[in-house]
């Protein structure tokens, strides 16, 4: 039996868990105070690592040398195919210098690698957000030199697609599904025989708007808005990814709070229905890419707990294919399960180069 430490570090919290094989023994979500999350990414490393050590030593009454492997959420790396990867020296260095972007998820691999190095145990990452399996035509834009990128909720999307495949006794590589991950950001992917051949860029909110992200905006209004507010590229990046959607409309990203006003506030109802409408449109786009050959539409992520959103989406798309909801995120389980598969020899870890 393999004991696996799973690390999933986000912008405001750290999810930590211990698994025996694929069975979760204990998990904890640590909410970090502003004095930690306001630090630079690398300066957050020490306080976050202390929290992980406290979880292992006190909550689990364990030592690190009792752990057989570490599984880390993937950070911002160069575009790579999906799969399980060893967190090697090159990956560690690129995460540490934020070569491909600054994001809290980078800390998972950085801290995981340092612990693994100290205790001489293997460390892996699974389906990071930069998984790129797009077909060439999906990357094309109308401006020479600009390509669409594949940045999405790869870990959770692929996890629920595999869960669905298992539920019908098929392999992920044998099915076609459309997966809509709906959380702080929203990504809708066309999964064709085990590859995500088309998906919107979730980092800057291309596609549907979300509780925090602006979504696709008419080009002329967007550049005029940026010019009017004298935004730098960094400021525009932050605005589109952190201050759009429900935050722009209502000064909150709390879907539960807004849902209590669904039947009494017409603007709130329109916004929630509009989010669902845009997700449904994105699902329709992916349906054309799969030429209508779709086994299932899968809704997942935190917003898939919301009955108004689910029902509204289904009312638009259930003629395309049956809809199954996998509420919440399956990231921790997926990290443990795929790492365990490598340890058991059922999956081969790839080398990052």
**Per-residue model confidence (pLDDT) at position 154:** 96
C-beta separation of 38 from 32 below 8 A = no
Q: What is the pLDDT of residue 247?
A: 95
- What confidence tier does 76 reach under pLDDT thresholds 50, 70, 90? very high
38 contacts: CB under 8 Å, gap ≥ 6: none
State the number of CA atoms in the 13 A half-sphere of 76 facing the CB.
Answer: 15
Is the pLDDT at 135 greater than 80? The verdict is yes
Which long-range contacts link 112-116 to residues 24+ away (Cβ below 8 Å)? 112/5, 112/7, 112/70, 112/71, 112/72, 112/87, 113/72, 113/87, 114/49, 115/5, 115/49, 115/52, 115/64, 115/70, 116/70, 116/87
Tell me the pLDDT of the chain averaged across its residues. 95
Q: Report residue 1's pLDDT band, with 50, 70 and 90 as the boundaries.
A: confident
Work out whether the CA dihedral 245, 248, 250, 255 comes out positive or negative: positive
Residue 127 confidence (pLDDT) above 80: yes
Q: Look at the pTM and tell me if it is higher than 0.85.
A: yes
Using the predicted structure, report yes or no on whether residue 163 has a pLDDT greater than 90. Answer: yes
Each residue's pLDDT tens digit, 185-201: 999 999 999 999 999 99
> What domains are there in the chain, each with its CATH number?
3-129+331-343 (3.30.420.40), 136-321 (3.30.420.40)
Using one digit for the tens of pLDDT, what is the confidence trace for 298-335?
999 999 999 999 999 999 999 999 999 999 999 999 99
Task: Give the C-alpha separation, 182 to 224, whole Å.
Answer: 29
> How confident is the model at residue 332, as a pLDDT?
96
- 210-225 per-position pLDDT tens digit: 999 999 999 999 999 9
3-state SS, residue 69: strand
Give the model's pLDDT for residue 38.
86
Per-residue model confidence (pLDDT) at position 204: 80
Q: What is the pLDDT of residues 277-294, one digit of tens each?
A: 999 999 999 999 999 999
What percent of the chain stands above pLDDT 70? 100
pLDDT classification of 108: cutoffs 50, 70, 90: very high
Q: Give the distance from CA 302 to its chain's centroid.
A: 11
pLDDT tops 80 at residue 205: no
Greatest Cα pair distance, the chain, in angstroms, is 60
Inter-residue contact 56 to 64 (CB < 8 Å): yes
């Amino acid at each position: 039996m393999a004991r696996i430490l799973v690390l999933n570090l986000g912008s405001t919290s750290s999810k930590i868990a211990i698994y025996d094989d694929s069975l979760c023994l204990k998990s904890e979500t640590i909410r970090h105070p502003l004095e930690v999350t306001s630090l630079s990414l690398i300066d957050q490393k020490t306080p976050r690592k202390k929290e992980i050590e406290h979880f292992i030593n006190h909550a689990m009454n364990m030592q690190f040398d009792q752990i057989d492997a570490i599984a880390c959420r993937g950070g911002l790396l160069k575009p790579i195919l999906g799969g399980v990867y060893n967190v090697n020296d090159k990956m560690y260095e690129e995460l540490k210098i934020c070569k491909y972007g600054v994001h809290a998820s980078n800390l998972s691999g950085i801290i995981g690698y340092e612990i693994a190095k100290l205790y001489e145990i293997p460390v892996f990452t699974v389906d990071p957000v930069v998984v790129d399996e797009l077909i060439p035509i999906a990357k094309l834009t109308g401006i020479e030199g600009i390509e669409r990128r594949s940045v999405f909720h790869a870990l959770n999307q692929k996890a629920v697609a595999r869960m669905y495949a298992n539920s019908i006794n098929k392999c992920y590589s044998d099915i076609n599904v459309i997966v809509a991950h709906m959380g702080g950001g929203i990504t809708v992917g066309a999964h064709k025989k085990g590859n995500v051949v088309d998906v919107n860029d979730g980092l800057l909110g291309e596609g549907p708007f979300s509780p925090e992200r602006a979504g696709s905006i008419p080009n002329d209004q967007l550049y005029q808005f940026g010019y009017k507010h004298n935004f730098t590229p960094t400021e525009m990046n932050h605005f589109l990814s952190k201050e759009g959607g429900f935050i722009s409309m209502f000064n909150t990203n709390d879907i539960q709070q807004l849902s209590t006003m669904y039947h009494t506030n017409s603007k709130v109802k329109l916004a929630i229905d509009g989010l669902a409408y845009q997700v449904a449109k994105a699902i329709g786009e992916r349906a054309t890419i799969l030429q209508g050959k779709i086994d299932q539409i899968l809704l997942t992520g935190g917003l898939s707990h919301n009955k108004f959103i689910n029902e509204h989406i289904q009312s638009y798309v259930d003629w395309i294919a049956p809809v199954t909801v996998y509420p919440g995120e399956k990231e921790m389980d997926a990290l443990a399960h795929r790492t365990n598969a490598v340890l058991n020899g059922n999956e081969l870890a790839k080398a990052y180069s």
